[in-house]
Structure 1
Amino acid sequence: MTGPVSRFRTLPLRSRLALLVATAVAVAVAAAAVTCWLLTRAQLRSELDNSLQNTSVLGAEVQAALRNCATGSNPETTTTTAYLFIQVVDTNGNRCVFPYSEPVKVQAQDISVARHVIDESLHNSTTEKGAAVRVHTERVFVGPGAQAAVSVSRPLAEIDASLNRLALLLTAVAGLGVVGAGAAGLWVARAGLRPVDGLTLAVEHVARTEDLTVRIPVEGEDEIARLSRSFNSMTAALASSRDRQSQLIADAGHELRTPLTSLRTNVELLARSEETGRAIPPDDRRALMASVKAQMTELASLIGDLQELSRPDATDPGPLQVVALHAIVDSALERARLRGPDLGITAELRPWYVRAEPAALERALVNVLDNAVKFSPPGGSVEVALSEHGELTVRDHGPGIPAEDLPHVFERFWRSPSARALPGSGLGLSIVARTVQQTGGEIALRPAAGGGTVAAIRIPGAPTPPPEAP
Structure 2
Amino acid sequence: MTLTGPVARFRALPLRSRLALLVTVAVTLAVAAVAAVSWVMVRTQLEQQLDSALRSTNASAQANQTLTRLGCQEQVPGAFVNNLSAQVQIVLPTGGRCWVDGKNTLPVTGYDLEVARGKHGAVMYDGRTTDGTPVRIYTQPVEAGTGIVAISVAKPLADIDKPLSTLAWVLVLVSAIGVVCAGAAGLWVARTGLRPVDELTGAVEHIARTEDLTVRIPDHGDDEIARLSRSFNSMTAALASSRDRQAQLIADAGHELRTPLTSMRTNIELLAHSESTGRAIPPEDRRELLASVKAQMAELASLIGDLQELSRPDAAPPGPLGVVPLHEIAGTALSRARLRGPELTFSAELEPWYVRGEAAALERAVINILDNAVKFSPPGGAVEVALRAGELTVRDHGPGVPAEDLPYVFERFWRSSSARALPGSGLGLSIVARTVRRAGGSAELRAARDGGPGAEAVLRIPGAPTPPPAGPSVAADR
TM-score over 0.5 (shorter chain): yes
Please say if residues 351 and 463 of structure 1, whose CA atoms lie closer than 8 Å, have aligned partners that are also in contact: yes
Q: Which digits, 9 at most, give the CA deviation of each residue in 1:229-264, with x for residues without a partner? A: 110011111111111110000000000000000010
Closer, same or farther in 2 for the Cα pair 1:457/1:400, shift >3 Å? Answer: same
How do 1:350-365 residues align onto structure 2 when only pairs under 5 Å count? 350-365=351-366
Please say if residues 266 and 288 of structure 1, whose CA atoms lie closer than 8 Å, have aligned partners that are also in contact: yes
Partner of 2:475: none
Matched residues in 1 for 2:70 and 2:37: separation? Answer: 44
Partner of 1:201: 202
1:379 aligned counterpart, secondary structure:
coil
Partner of 2:31: 29
* Superposed displacement of residue 100, structure 1: 3.8
Partner of 1:42: 44
Please say if residues 97 and 103 of structure 1, whose CA atoms lie closer than 8 Å, have aligned partners that are also in contact: no
Partner of 1:310: 311
Matched residues in 2 for 1:367 and 1:141: separation? Answer: 121
Partner of 1:297: 298
Q: Which digits, 9 at most, give the CA deviation of each residue in 1:71-117, with x for residues without a partner? A: xx689xxx99x941100111232223434442012221111110011
Read off the aligned partner of 1:189 and give its amino acid letter: A
Matched residues in 2 for 1:105 and 1:98: separation? Answer: 10
Partner of 1:176: 177
Partner of 1:10: 12
Find out whether 1:348 has 2:349 as its counterpart: yes
Query: Given the alignment, which residue of 34, 54, 57 partners 1:55?
Result: 57
How do 1:107-186 residues align onto structure 2 when only pairs under 5 Å count? 107-144=109-146, 146-186=147-187
Partner of 1:420: 420
Q: Which digits, 9 at most, give the CA deviation of each residue in 1:329-384, with x for residues without a partner? A: 11101111111110111111111111110111101100000000000001111011
Higher mean C-alpha displacement, 454-463 vs 133-142? 133-142
Please say if residues 89 and 99 of structure 2, whose CA atoms lie closer than 8 Å, have aligned partners that are also in contact: yes
Please say if residues 114 and 149 of structure 1, whose CA atoms lie closer than 8 Å, have aligned partners that are also in contact: yes
Find out whether 1:454 has 2:456 as its counterpart: yes
Matched residues in 1 for 2:467 and 2:359: separation? Answer: 15
Matched residues in 2 for 1:131 and 1:371: separation? Answer: 112
Please say if residues 441 and 458 of structure 1, whose CA atoms lie closer than 8 Å, have aligned partners that are also in contact: yes
Q: Which digits, 9 at most, give the CA deviation of each residue in 1:132-162, with x for residues without a partner? A: 0111111123324x33211111101111001
1:464 aligned counterpart, secondary structure:
coil
Higher mean C-alpha displacement, 342-351 vs 256-265? 342-351
How do 1:269-308 residues align onto structure 2 when only pairs under 5 Å count? 269-308=270-309
Aligned length: 462
* Superposed displacement of residue 22, structure 1: 0.9
* Superposed displacement of residue 67, structure 1: 3.1
Partner of 1:67: 72
Read off the aligned partner of 2:116 and give its amino acid letter: A
Read off the aligned partner of 2:290 and give its amino acid letter: M
Matched residues in 2 for 1:326 and 1:3: separation? Answer: 69
Please say if residues 107 and 125 of structure 1, whose CA atoms lie closer than 8 Å, have aligned partners that are also in contact: no
Read off the aligned partner of 1:200 and give its amino acid letter: T
Partner of 1:366: 367
Unaligned runs of 5+ in 2: 473-478
* Superposed displacement of residue 64, structure 1: 5.6
Please say if residues 328 and 362 of structure 1, whose CA atoms lie closer than 8 Å, have aligned partners that are also in contact: yes
Matched residues in 2 for 1:83 and 1:252: separation? Answer: 108
* Superposed displacement of residue 460, structure 1: 0.5
Q: Which digits, 9 at most, give the CA deviation of each residue in 1:381-410, with x for residues without a partner? A: 1011111x1211100000010000000000
How do 1:217-232 residues align onto structure 2 when only pairs under 5 Å count? 217-232=218-233
Read off the aligned partner of 1:370 and give its amino acid letter: D
Higher mean C-alpha displacement, 305-314 vs 86-95? 86-95
Matched residues in 2 for 1:217 and 1:93: separation? Answer: 88
Q: CA RMSD in A?
A: 1.7
How do 1:242-257 residues align onto structure 2 when only pairs under 5 Å count? 242-257=243-258
* Superposed displacement of residue 426, structure 1: 0.3
1:147 aligned counterpart, secondary structure:
strand
Matched residues in 2 for 1:63 and 1:194: separation? Answer: 86
* Superposed displacement of residue 61, structure 1: 2.4
Matched residues in 2 for 1:175 and 1:66: separation? Answer: 60
* Superposed displacement of residue 39, structure 1: 0.8
Please say if residues 348 and 385 of structure 1, whose CA atoms lie closer than 8 Å, have aligned partners that are also in contact: yes
Unaligned runs of 5+ in 1: none
Partner of 1:435: 435
Please say if residues 72 and 99 of structure 2, whose CA atoms lie closer than 8 Å, have aligned partners that are also in contact: no
Higher mean C-alpha displacement, 315-324 vs 237-246? 315-324
Read off the aligned partner of 2:104 and give its amino acid letter: E
Read off the aligned partner of 2:299 and give its amino acid letter: E
Matched residues in 2 for 1:44 and 1:424: separation? Answer: 100
Matched residues in 1 for 2:470 and 2:190: separation? Answer: 60
Q: What is the TM-score normalised by the length of structure 2?
A: 0.94
Matched residues in 1 for 2:168 and 2:8: separation? Answer: 35
Partner of 1:259: 260
Please say if residues 336 and 370 of structure 1, whose CA atoms lie closer than 8 Å, have aligned partners that are also in contact: yes
Please say if residues 65 and 88 of structure 1, whose CA atoms lie closer than 8 Å, have aligned partners that are also in contact: no
Partner of 1:390: 390
Closer, same or farther in 2 for the Cα pair 1:439/1:66, shift >3 Å? Answer: farther
Please say if residues 66 and 72 of structure 2, whose CA atoms lie closer than 8 Å, have aligned partners that are also in contact: no
Q: Which digits, 9 at most, give the CA deviation of each residue in 1:296-345, with x for residues without a partner? A: 11101101100110000111221211111111111101111111110111
Matched residues in 2 for 1:302 and 1:83: separation? Answer: 112
Partner of 2:88: 86
Please say if residues 21 and 183 of structure 2, whose CA atoms lie closer than 8 Å, have aligned partners that are also in contact: yes
Higher mean C-alpha displacement, 408-417 vs 84-93? 84-93
Partner of 1:377: 378
